[in-house]
Chains A and B, each alone.
Chain A
Amino acid sequence: MQLIHPVQVQIRLNALRDQDVFIHLEMTSGAYAAHNDSSKHPSATFITNARIRYAHGSIEGAGPYRVGLKTENGWVYSEGLTHWDENDTERLILAGHDAQGKLVVALQLSRQPF
């Protein structure tokens, strides 16, 4: 994974619009969040291989980045993105890692299921 290059990510977002794509969207505080710090509320959520179609999508901010995808009836939104896989030319793999390098958030788009 490399640090996000917003111009390159925007090009990939444009290439995947107006078609059915599979999405993996995830956020997690880690299963040990409350074990390590009792003030933390452990939480996690993901949806994988849901099919969406967006007409308009962009990456914003100065890093960590935010991505919003406007779908027919709503939105996909993700905040805190720091890294991407620039070598994966078929899919768009975005992730947000905290100061310890742990994954906090992931947004992935692909024409084929993950």
Chain B
Amino acid sequence: MANNILVILPHPDDEAFGLSGTLAKSIREGARVTYACLTLGEMGRNMGVPPFANRVTLPRFRKLELEESCRTIGIQDLRLMGYHDKTIEFEDKDKLDARILELLEEVRPGTVYTFYPGYAVHPDHDATGAAVIRTIARLAQERRPIVRCIAFSKNREEAIGLPDVKVDVRPFLKQKLGSIQAHRSQFQIPKLSPTELEDRFGTESFYTYKFS
């Protein structure tokens, strides 16, 4: 279904800075979004300021934060995939790819959002993006959804150029800031003027993945 969007990211909060405005915009335009979040960010070092979580309770807080973020954005369908933070790259690739394929077959998305493998800094980000790309590359060309990737490594522009998709999300800053604020164990939004907020958070950029 062209109107279905599938988001595959490893950590609760991965959606907040890079994608939440775009998702809120697509949902306003009628999209149905399924967000598969691979882990609960169990190994995060931020425990709130002052710390209110610990290693045992952090995943519970982060699950609630993720659910609040999804409600704020308007995401209709959240899937918690049950992997453990920091371990995606060590998982059996065939099994991981099979679960991604199941999601693709069920959701039948027109567009998939994930991280650009190799240019997304955290090993979980790279491993998640790599699994999504591997799985979609095996589909027949006419069955492949559009894949939009988030990249933010320092070397990205020399390697893959500039992003080809830029989304003006200024009309959806309320949802985006709400998503960021929902992750209160992880982030504290700096006090900025409305113009500064628009400059800092008003645009989201993606690379459309080119399958060869």
Contact = CB atoms under 8 A, between A and B. Distances in A.
Interface string B64-99: 000000000000000000001011011110000000
Contact of B84 (A58, A61, A69, A74): A74
A68 B92 contact: no
B123 interface: yes
Nearest to A55: B92
A75 B42 CA distance: 12
B146 to A, nearest CB: 29
A9 B87 CA distance: 18
A58 B89 CA distance: 9
B87 A77 contact: yes
Contacts of B87: 68, 70, 75, 77
Contacts of A58: 89-90
A60 interface: yes
A80 to B, nearest CB: 12
Contacts of A60: 89-90, 123
Interface string A19-47: 00000000000000000000000000000
A66 B122 CA distance: 12
Chain A binding surface SS class:
strand
A96 interface: no
A57 B89 CA distance: 11
Interface in B108-140: 123
Interface in A54-90: 56-58, 60-61, 66, 68-70, 74-75, 77
B123 A75 contact: no
A102 to B, nearest CB: 22
A75 B86 CA distance: 10
Contact of B123 (A56, A66, A70, A74): A66
A57 B90 contact: yes
A46 to B, nearest CB: 18
A4 B92 CA distance: 23
Contacts of A74: 84
Contacts of A69: 90
B86 A77 contact: yes
Contacts of A66: 89, 123
Contacts of B89: 58, 60, 66, 68
Given A70-B87, A74-B84, A77-B86, A61 B92 contact: no
Given A60-B89, A61-B123, 11 more contacts: A58-B89, A58-B90, A66-B89, A68-B89, A70-B90, A70-B91, A75-B84, A75-B86, A75-B87, A75-B90, A77-B87
5 nearest A-B residue pairs (beta carbon): A68-B90, A60-B89, A58-B90, A75-B87, A68-B87
Interface of B: 84, 86-87, 89-92, 123
17 contacts: A56-B90, A56-B92, A57-B90, A58-B90, A60-B90, A60-B123, A61-B123, A68-B86, A68-B87, A68-B89, A69-B90, A70-B87, A70-B90, A75-B86, A75-B87, A77-B86, A77-B87
Interface of A: 56-58, 60-61, 66, 68-70, 74-75, 77
